[in-house]
Amino acid sequence: MKIWSALDGRLLATLRGASSEITDLAVNNENTLLAAGSCDKLIRVWCLRTCAPIAVLNCHSGSVTSLFFCPIPRSRHPIAYLASTSTDGSCSFWGFTEHPETGHVEFQ
């Protein structure tokens, strides 16, 4: 995937790893994470600050059809969620913790 500047059309970054067609994208509310689902049944997550890959999530037996970062106030719940659906009829919730001091993200 490529990230382009909307201001001047420059290529800002290339995110590598997807091996099949991307079916949906989601960006979290803090604009720090990008998740991409694809026909290869995987969800890949990248850090938008560093463009580094963070996680590859695998539990669907069909293509990923949609992704959504659930807006949960961090002050009350230390764990946030990424929701995904698939052509296999399943819906998954992926818990993750983002440490504000270090920027480290950990999926459970």
For the chain, the structural domain boundaries read: 2-107
- The CB density around residue 64, as the number of other CB atoms within 10 Å, is 27
Cα–Cα dist 83/60, whole Å: 12
User: What's the CATH class of domain 2-107?
Assistant: mainly beta
| C-beta atoms surrounding 23 within 10 Å | 17
What tokens appear for 104 in the block? 């480290």
Q: What is the DSSP letter of 9?
A: -
Identity of the residue numbered 30: E
Helix (H, G, I), strand (E, B) or coil at 78: coil
pLDDT score, position 102 = 78
Among 27-31, 72-76, 86-90, 98-102, the least confident range: 72-76
Residue 42 has φ and ψ, to the nearest 5°, of -115, 155
- Confidence (pTM): 0.89
Q: Round the average pLDDT of the chain to a whole number and report it.
A: 91
